[in-house]
Structure 1
Amino acid sequence: MVMMDRVKRNKVHRKNLKTVELAFNSTSLAAKDAIRRRDLRQQKLLTLNSAFLLGAIMENRLMAAISEPRLDEKRELRILRASSVNDMWRRALQEAFSQRYGVSPGSIPSRLSFTESSRYYGMLETVNTWIDPVISIRNSLAHGQWDVAFKSGDRTETSPPRTGELKRVTLWSLMLRKNLLDHWELLVFDLAVTKYAFERDFDRKWKNMRAAEERLKKGSAKQWEDALRKRYVRGRRHRAKNAHAEFISEQRAVRDKIQAARKEASQYNAWVSGIPSPVTPHQDPWVDPNSGFPEPEASTGWPRAPKPAAALPSSPVPEQRPSGWFMGYSEEPPF
């Protein structure tokens, strides 16, 4: 079997890591929404999904770190021979210190200086304290053990410690663990890949990691969830208040339009009533001067027909008799 080129392999691991981190962000947002709405069933399921994805993130980060071209490929192969992801992280830490300070992996940390060995033990403690539980929970969830976890092997006995880990998982702790491990992964990258950044930036990044660890130890998931719910209720009240104010504003706008239309109609009617009529009742004999309407017929009730206009006097026209020539007489015309 031909092994994929390391550069291509590293790009594939980085691509997988990016996709899994997007999935974690989306799932954790949905879990936060379930916490706000007090949907306990969705909260539990989405929180466990987030825990599974966090374990996948840590495994992909490991693969991306050890496939970096600047890390010797032989060291990568030795890391991959470890029996579990947790052991791979420990072996990766050992190989990275070995390559950086030029000592054999078996002599780590005995042949390191005090400062170097202190850094090694501090980073190893992070693996034991924070990475091991993440991978352990991921393994239980990957095998379908979402309520009760079994011991590794033939699954004939349950594991109370691992079951307790499943019960104690909260979204708050997962988000803080991810923040802590983000800082730790940067330290590992500087150790394995860079030339000067590890020693130069170690104290600052270690301080950030310890701050996240303190928040995990001293904080409270219940207080965080209660604060989420209070903000959610307060936001709903503000949105309802704003919606009511918007409704009142729209109603007032409609009322103002109606009042303006009524005022315009009133002004128009006043203007029309001020126009003088071209024909007044007393000028038309057909119109009753008292009512202004035509008088009805007594028998039919229909408006009385207008009286015919009086005939104008005609002047007498003198009779003209035809002349003879016109009537066939032989007399000469008079002109």
Structure 2
Amino acid sequence: MASHYPSSTEFRKHSENLKAVTAALVQIERAHKRAIREGDQPSELAIRKIHTLLLGVYAEARLRKIIEDPTGFNGRERELIWLEKSQDKRWSSTVDFAARRHYRVLAHQSLDEVLSTAALARVEDVSAILQHDLAPVITDRNRIAHGQWVWQLKSRSENQFTIDQSNFDYNYVALRARFRLLDLIGRLVNVLCVSEPTFDRDFSSLMQKIDEAKIDLDGSSYSTFASQLRSRGKVAHEVGSAPVVNGPVVGSSKRQRFLRRWLARRRSVDGAQD
């Protein structure tokens, strides 16, 4: 049965791009967890950078799909957004045009002159999230993509470096939190663009989830996460190395049966998390 949701060639292609990027992220996350589980530090450090880079790619792909959603902007609004050269300015313009459409603010009017205090606060909250939480993702993506893996150049400079070096050493927990945050930011901006009642209904809930996602951005729980992951890997190795004949464990003990049941449950949980 054909879908009645409005579409366009551009929207379909950006949707396919986003789907492909998301699928790649799933594989990178699995490789990242495998490196942690196996204690392969060189691989883990390399994957961290690729993981960080791909999150920036995801943010851009998500924005392109939002902009081209046929239920959101008109052609002229899209043209004006695409005129912005940087990703962070395109995100900001997307929010500005969406707010004007949402609250029916004319082009020559200022948002703070027309919007109620509550409405203006919501728009400012979204803009603040872009500035404080999304902008670093874009900046990190650009620097990694341009080979600035240890020493970063100052903005718009080809020979002046920042004082401090950075290895973009975000661990798995921090990067996973970034992905959750990007997904929520994308949902928040998208509903602002396409649905006034949905934005009004879901704003508080999405903001609460965004605040919850920020808790793990510092990656402080990484040591506990890595320890648990390695422990599960050790148990899986024990179970996997047990001799099996026609299904049952040879000389099966209560411990071996327990380990098999435990491993089956863990695989189910890990699959759901992936």
- Give TM-score scaled by structure 2 length: 0.80
1:166-195 CA-to-partner distances (Å, cap 9, x unmatched) read 433222111111112212211111111124
Query: Cα–Cα, structure 1 residues 15 and 125, in superposed 2: closer, same or farther, change >3 Å?
Result: same
Sort the Cα spacing of 1:199 and 1:242 in 2 relative to 1 into closer, same or farther, 3 A: farther
| Contact 2:174–2:218 under 8 Å retained in 1 | no
Alpha-carbon distance in 2 for matches of 1:172, 1:160: 27
Over aligned residues, Cα RMSD in angstroms? 2.3
Question: What CA deviation, in whole Å up to 9, does each residue of 1:136-160 have, x standing for no partner?
Answer: 1110111122233222434212224
Distance 1:101 1:84, change over 3 A: same
Kindly state the Cα deviation for residue 218 of structure 1 after the two structures are TM-superposed: 7.9
Q: Is 2:125 the partner of 1:122?
A: yes
5 Å matches for 1:22-101?
22-70=23-71, 71-101=73-103
Q: Which runs of 5+ in 1 are unaligned?
A: 1-5, 250-335
The match for 1:158 among 161, 164, 172 is 161
Instruction: State the secondary structure of the residue aligned to 2:22.
Output: helix
Deviation digits for residues 254-301 of structure 1 (CA, Å, limit 9, x no counterpart)? xxxxxxxxxxxxxxxxxxxxxxxxxxxxxxxxxxxxxxxxxxxxxxxx
Counterpart amino acid of 1:61? R
Q: Does the aligned pair in 1 maintain the 2:172–2:219 contact within 8 Å? A: no
> What residue number does 1:208 align with?
209
The percent identity for this pair of structures is 26
Q: Any conservation in 1 of the 2:56–2:138 contact (CA below 8 Å)?
A: yes
Q: Which structure is larger by alpha-carbon Rg, 1 or 2? A: 1
Q: TM-score, normalised by structure 1?
A: 0.67
- How far 1:242 moved relative to its partner? 6.4
| Contact 2:102–2:193 under 8 Å retained in 1 | yes
Secondary structure at 1:68 match in 2: coil
Which protein has greater RCO, CA pairs closer than 8 Å, 6+ apart?
2
Contact kept in structure 1, 2:45 and 2:169, CA below 8 Å: no
User: C-alpha separation between the residues in 2 aligned to 1:109 and 1:174?
Assistant: 35
Q: Give the secondary-structure state (helix, strand or coil) at the position aligned to 2:168.
A: helix
AA in 2 matched with 1:132: A
Whether 1:108 aligns to 2:111 is yes
Query: What's the offset of the Cα at 1:60?
Result: 0.9
CA contact (8 A) 1:55 1:135 kept: yes
Q: How does 1:313-332 map to 2 (within 5 A)?
A: none
From the superposition, tell whether residues 13 and 160 of structure 1 become closer, same or farther in structure 2 (CA, over 3 Å): farther
| Partner residue, 2:190 | 189
